Amino acid sequence: MDPQTVERQIELPAPPGTVWQALTRGEELSAWFGARVELDPRPGGTATFRFSDGRQRDARVEVFDPQRQLLLRWLPFERRVDGATAVPAGHMRFVLEPRGDHTLLAVTETLFSEERVMTSAGPRRGHRYD
Amino acid sequence: MTDKPVDAVFSALSDPTRRSVMRLLSEGDANATEIAEQLPISRQAVTKHLSALSEAGLVTAERDGREKRYHFTPAPFRDAMSWMADVGAGWDSRLNALQNLLQDRT
């Protein structure tokens, strides 16, 4: 296991279709994520997470494979009332697997982007945040 | 707490050789030559790894004659572990909420 990665797995009492909606619809995400979430559910779409302590983080939908996999890449800054702070551009990955009429959900959160790790090894395709 | 960002710590620790260097230093202070004697890499390579560890705040250097003597400082390492614990706890609580949400619907 990478030291900069947190992994969790859970069996959810709903089929992948239902879980997928809970992961990709802003109002559903807001009900369990611990933040007010707006998400444009498509590849390249943006997501905004507003936390109750006033912080706001933005992410980009990097992988959108319905009912199978979702990857949200954090943008490298965090907004606060008093301005923005640079933060590492890690990601959250959700992988869904059907288990009868249930779903096995695996979540991985990494602290920083692979690009950053790869920097020392040379250039690699970058992600554009436009 | 220290002001070293935890990603610098993880970045420094992402290399197996640097982890070996840190393990050696956790057993006692040493200079680059002494560390190189115990690892299959050159003194020059050791120096590079030491500077990455030093940047992350995981080692401090003290001049000792012609060589620098390195000392393991674990505080940033503990901060990084606490980041992991926080993020892990955050997911435990979120996934628990998600499970309850879906449970209530069935």
A127 or B26, higher pLDDT: B26
Minimum distance, in Å, between the CA of residue A4 and any CA atom of chain B:
6
Question: Which contacts of A49-52 are long-range, i.e. CB under 8 A and separated by 24 or more positions?
Answer: none
DSSP string, A32-83: HSSEEEEE--STT-EEEEEETTS-EEEEEEEEEETTTEEEEEEEEEEEETTE
Q: Which pLDDT band, with edges at 50, 70 and 90, does A3 fall under?
A: low
Mutate to test the interface with B, among A5, A7, A10 (most CBs of B within 10 A): A10
| d(C-alpha A46, C-alpha A58), whole Å | 7
Instruction: Output the six-digit token pair for A72.
Output: 């949200």
Nearest to A12 among B10, B92, B102 (CB): B102
Q: Answer whether A4 sits within 8 Å of B93, measured CB to CB.
A: no
- Tens-place pLDDT, residues A93-123: 999 999 999 999 999 998 765 544 433 333 3
Q: Is residue B106 within 8 Å of A20, Cβ to Cβ?
A: no
Flag if A112 and B91 touch (Cβ within 8 Å): no
Least confident span in A56-60, B53-57, B78-82:
B78-82
> What was the pLDDT predicted at A130?
38
Radius of gyration of chain B (CA): 19
The nearest alpha carbon in chain B to A118 belongs to: B11
Confidence at B10, pLDDT banded by 50, 70, 90: confident
- Kindly report the pTM of this predicted structure: 0.74
Residue A129 confidence class, pLDDT cut points 50, 70, 90: very low
Q: Please tell me the distance from the alpha carbon of residue A23 to that of residue A41, in angstroms, as a whole number.
A: 10
**A-B contacts at Cβ under 8 angstroms:** 70
Dist. CA A103–CA B102, nearest whole Å: 11
Its sign, for the CA torsion B76, B81, B82, B83, is positive
pLDDT at B7: 76
**B82 has pLDDT over 90:** no
Chain B residues lying within 8 Å of A8, measured CB to CB: 88, 91-92, 95
pLDDT tens-digit series, residues A26-38: 999 999 999 999 9
What's the rounded Cα separation, in Å, for the pair B15 and A103?
35
**Minimum Cα–Cα distance from B19: chain A residue:** A3
Contacts for B98 with CB less than 8 Å, ≥ 6 apart: A10, A12, A22, A32, A105
Query: Which of these, B37, B11, B6, lies nearest to B24 by C-alpha position?
Result: B37
Residue B75 has pLDDT above 70, yes or no: yes
CA-based nearest residue in chain B for residue A6: B88
Locate the chain B residue with the closest alpha carbon to A1.
B14
pLDDT, position B106: 67
Q: Do B102 and A8 touch (CB under 8 A)?
A: no
Would the pLDDT of B44 be above 50? yes
Checking if the pLDDT of B49 tops 50, the result is yes
pLDDT above 80 for B36:
yes
